[in-house]
Structure 1
Amino acid sequence: MYHTFIRSILLCIATLSVPFAMAEGTVARALFASEVLDREPIDELGDVIKVEYGEIQRVYFFTDLRDMEGGQVTHVWKLDGVIEAEIPFDIGGDRWRVWSSKRLMPGFDGKWSVDIVKDGEVLESRSFDYVDEW
């Protein structure tokens, strides 16, 4: 009886600790910005970005990663669900900030999204609408 009780407790502890052991790092921040300076975004763009005629707009996707040293993440940029670019990053420290960007022109309007992918799994996803009001 005593051994069965001990085994049950050990099994419960092992079962509860598995999800924590499998979790490898977190995405502390993920946002769209108009520029990144000194490894920090200078602003945060909203959910809607308007087309500026005669201009090429650059939108940055910034991520602050924690506890993923030695791994790799990929920014997967999509327009209306179709992959437009995949940018991989090697993670060199416990806190690692990375960003990628996309040049947006008139005619690129639609729903843009970026997935943060690690080991084939989407960790986070963010999106914005690129709107042409003409």
Structure 2
Amino acid sequence: MTDKRNIVIQVKYPISGQATVDLAPKMITEWNIKRILLAASVLVMILISLFYFIHSDTQDNAAVIVNAIEKQVAPQAELKEVEIKNLDISTQAIVEANLLAKSRKELNKNSKQTAAIPVKEVIKKQASKKVIKEQEHLKVNTNEVRAVLTYKINNKEPVGEIVRSVNLNNKKPTWIYYFTELNAMKGSKVYHEWLKEGVVVTRRALIISGNRWRTSSRKLFSDAEKGNWSVRLFDKNDRLLNEKNFKIE
């Protein structure tokens, strides 16, 4: 037998006197806080990564440029305006400061080299003049054969030679002799001149009585005579024939 069931549909009508209910659909907005925070975090991380990448790339470019300048890999090369403009303001200031310091350093170096050239030339000229003067002195001075500073003369010959300094005995004074041997000056006169610190202390005239003549003068030195001394040989025309420098200690 067929199972038969009855379906009952109930319809509710509004009761008279009551307000009609508005059955139109309404939109309700609900914010998902977790998803918003997650999206914001991802955006912040992207911005930080982009900023770090750009900043590090700029610093690397500036470091390469500064190292090239300091190591003088290309001392005559200059940065292009495009390369400088691509850098930020702080990096441009660093690069421009390094370029300015480099230019000043090169300028000072060139000026020092330029200033040193005339000085060296003057010193070189003076040295050459001195050599020429000494050579002329050797050529002209053919009369002086020997000149020796010594403590003693035996049989008209010097015994030993004083080279630089004299050490005095505090108990007694010391004689110092200036021995000279001259040639082709017979009948002429020469002078022995003793000086202390460049000031003439004594001057003695000596007569030459032979074509080859040995003569000498002497001076007594005490402890009070310490200092720088010199003795000179002049001819009658005051031409310097010889000079010895020594120190009394």
Which TM-score tier does this pair reach, normalised by the shorter chain? 0.7 to 0.9
C-alpha distance 50-104 of structure 1, shift in aligned 2 (>3 A): same
Deviation of the 1:55 alpha carbon: 1.3
Name the CA distance, whole Å, in 2 between partners of 1:31 and 1:54: 26
Q: Which structure has the larger Rg over C-alpha atoms?
A: 2
State the alpha-carbon separation in 2 of the partners of residues 100 and 113 from structure 1.
Answer: 13
Please identify runs of 4+ aligned residues in structure 1 that moved more than 2 A.
none
Tell me the residue number matched to 2:198: 81
The Cα RMSD (Å) is 1.8
Q: Gaps spanning 5+ residues in structure 1: where?
A: 1-18
Say which structure is richer in helix.
2
Which structure: greater strand fraction? 1
Q: Which of residues 151, 160, 184 in structure 2 aligns to 1:34?
A: 151
- Return closer, same or farther for 1:93/1:24 CA change in 2, 3 Å cut-off: farther
The 3 A distance-change label for structure 1 pair 59 and 24 is closer
Q: CA deviation at 1:70?
A: 1.4
TM-superposed CA distance for 1:90, in Å, is: 0.9
The answer on 1:122 being equivalent to 2:221 is no
The question of whether the paired residues in 1 share the 8 Å contact of 2:144 and 2:241 is answered with: yes
**Structure 2 counterpart of 1:61:** 178
Which ranges of structure 2 fall in alignment gaps of 5 or more residues? Answer: 1-135
CA distance in 1, matches of 2:208, 2:142: 11
Higher normalized contact order (CA 8 Å, seq sep 6+, divided by chain length): 1
2:242 partner amino acid: E
Return the letter of the residue paired with 1:35: K
Q: SS where residue 205 of structure 2 aligns?
A: strand
Letter in 1 for 2:185: M
